[in-house]
Structure 1
């Protein structure tokens, strides 16, 4: 954690953060915002690593076994936009709250990627990998896909499920330890706007940009299935949080 300095007799050069008044409430505010920024970055990194792990494992394993990857370059570009730009806007703008002051301070030598983060990443990554693997092997039977267009429909379903897994995982990533991830969600207008924009653009990509994104329009039943598959990741994330791990 940064060393704070009240500008009275202490030298400015020795401090990471300089506070220009002697009001204790200012110190509390600075500490709260410092912790908030640190934790928000952790949330974003947790979300980012989950997407990276799943996308890498899925495409690599599929390419090795079948000779083709289920996620195309354009689709991965969109996923990277969700993961990097939109994910950063959504998770890094969470406002601070008073409960942050109850957390144990993180020392200079503390691990940035904590055991709690690894637990959440692996729990979500395993679920998402299983979903995509199952759709690759049993998707045509599950959705009764037949004909020359069946491969394209299946790949679109896989892509859509993968994106909605990230949408709901983004909500789960708002809290790394608490079960209730919806508390205060409406207080962050940026988060709500980013989430809504992601879903809107996903609908446009799937339904209207087929030639560009290598997708095909899906039926209402298929859309509902993709949303449900993505949503299931949330209770799984909550269950994973019940397993205790060390904080470091």
Structure 2
């Protein structure tokens, strides 16, 4: 039966505790054996051992498994947005003016804080009951879904548009020199990722702040990221090739970046086919 279901494309899980269950546990995609009453043969043939012999534990396992999968998707969407925006802004700027607004050190800084702190923040999201209402993900389903493409392309388009405006019109808008303009671009780009990190908390729901106070680690990591960015811009100017920004310029960077929240809410109103 297990082999028949697998041939039809199903993901098969089998539970068992006896020696006679061992072949099915071995062949199944996921074999679950009993830790107390199960035989040693069954335990060795299974992938997961239920230590308390309680079937409700399986529900917990499923919930955490879906949570891990969902958190991976959140980070992929978040990281692809960062990479697409950085690539496009530097490519367009280099092709049009021969200069890039984001230096190698700044791009390394963005990747450092977004790859590590960003991944850690999104990985700390705990499972919710909503996860169990979703259909199981098939083995042939893509990891990057249509919903993810919708979200990341919308955010990347907004970021690229804003950064290109700052690149070509920033000096005239803010009445600053080139170095301050490049610092504004760098600071706005990083803050856009910080605000977009909140959008990435939920791929489909509009309320991105639901349960955020329960995840203190997420809030703490976002706070640390902001503090590190302030240090990078204001105190490590020689290393980061930046200039100090005044309060008005900081407010402008924050205001521009915060627009990613309403954009994220609006874009989630666009339906996406699950096929």
> Is 1:186 aligned to residue 247 of structure 2?
no
- CA offset digits 1:38-66 (Å, max 9, x no partner): 00000000000000101011111111111
| Farther off after superposition, 233-242 or 16-25 | 16-25
For 1:208, the equivalent position in structure 2 comes to 235
Q: Equivalents in 2 of 1:209, 1:2: separation in Å?
A: 52
Q: Equivalents in 2 of 1:196, 1:43: separation in Å?
A: 19
Q: Equivalents in 2 of 1:2, 1:208: separation in Å?
A: 54
Superposition deviation, residue 190 in structure 1: 2.0
> Is 1:48 aligned to residue 57 of structure 2?
no
Q: Equivalents in 2 of 1:19, 1:188: separation in Å?
A: 29
| Farther off after superposition, 11-20 or 198-207 | 11-20
Among candidates 44, 57, 62, match of residue 93 of structure 2: 62
- Given that 1:175 and 1:181 are in contact with CA atoms closer than 8 Å, whether structure 2 keeps it comes out as yes
- CA offset digits 1:160-214 (Å, max 9, x no partner): 0000000000011000000000011121222112101110000000001100000
Q: TM-score, normalised by structure 2?
A: 0.85
User: Structure 1 stretches of 5 or more lacking a match?
Assistant: none
Bigger-Rg structure (1/2): 2
Q: Equivalents in 2 of 1:199, 1:246: separation in Å?
A: 36
- Given that 1:4 and 1:18 are in contact with CA atoms closer than 8 Å, whether structure 2 keeps it comes out as no
Poorly superposed stretches of 4+, deviation over 6 Å = none
Q: TM-score, normalised by structure 1?
A: 0.94
Among candidates 162, 166, 171, match of residue 131 of structure 1: 162
Among candidates 242, 245, 259, match of residue 218 of structure 1: 245
- Aligned length, in residue pairs: 244
1:67-146 equivalences in 2 (<5 Å):
67-145=98-176
For 2:26, the equivalent position in structure 1 comes to 13
> Greater relative contact order: 1 or 2 (C-alpha under 8 angstroms, separation 6 or more)?
1
> Is 1:39 aligned to residue 70 of structure 2?
yes
RMSD (CA atoms): 1.5
For 1:238, the equivalent position in structure 2 comes to 265
> Is 1:196 aligned to residue 223 of structure 2?
yes
Q: Equivalents in 2 of 1:92, 1:105: separation in Å?
A: 20
3-state DSSP class of the match of 1:49? helix
